[in-house]
Amino acid sequence: MHSWFDLYFKFTESIDTLFSVWGREMLPADQRLKSLMSVIDGLTNNFEMKGDGQTRDSKKRESIYQILEKVRSSKCITHSELNKLSRTANKESIYSLGNRFCELLSPLESLLPPLLNNKYAFRCTNTRHKLTHIESEQEDVFRPEEFIEVVHNLELIISAYLLYKIGAKEELIRKTLHI
């Protein structure tokens, strides 16, 4: 359990960025979204991750599965080669922003609306990547007309996480954030 001062000292840049975004309401929604994802990146940068390096992105897994089914039905590679290809295709750094965002959401699961889950975390991460790298062919991203709601949800997630980290009880977090 951290006090606010300990938490602020540890994550000064991320928290300052959060307050800066809050103070600049006229900032376009896409810029706010990117900045809030940077806050999450900073808050999760030192997470100790566990896992086998396989992605938790359900959309990515489903897409890869569909492609591998075509390969399987063509019988052009052995079963062993197909398994190796599957593991490689589903490999993702356990330290990826998407996986770290999922880890941030984990202790907040009972607090947040069911919509704010791992699938949502990866969609936010994909959207940030698409906004940062315009030329990317990133799939499963939010549409620009959804950005304002996404920004609101990211602010909710970050606020809930910071309150959780300083030891606020669930009831207080719910009342404070109107969840």
What confidence tens digit (pLDDT) does each residue in 124-174 have? 999 999 999 888 777 889 999 999 999 999 999 999 999 999 999 999 999
The CA distance from 93 to 52, in Å, is 9
The band of 55, judged by pLDDT with boundaries at 50, 70 and 90, is low
Give the CA distances from residue 81 to residues 55, 61, 75, 141, 146, in Å, rounded to whole numbers and listed in that order: 19, 18, 11, 31, 41
Q: Within a 10 A sphere around the Cβ of 113, how many other Cβ atoms?
A: 10
The CA distance from 58 to 152, in Å, is 23
The model's pTM is 0.78
Q: Are the beta carbons of 118 and 105 closer than 8 angstroms? A: yes
**What secondary structure letter does DSSP report for 145?**
G
Gap between the terminal Cα atoms of the chain: 22
Give the CA distances from residue 136 to residues 17, 59, 125, in Å, rounded to whole numbers and listed in that order: 26, 17, 13
Tokens 């965002």 map to which residue? Answer: 101
With left for phi above 0 and alpha for psi between -120 and 50, is residue 75 left, alpha or beta?
A: left
pLDDT tens-place string over residues 79-107: 777 777 776 766 666 678 998 999 999 99
Question: 59 — phi, psi (to 5°)?
Answer: -65, -45
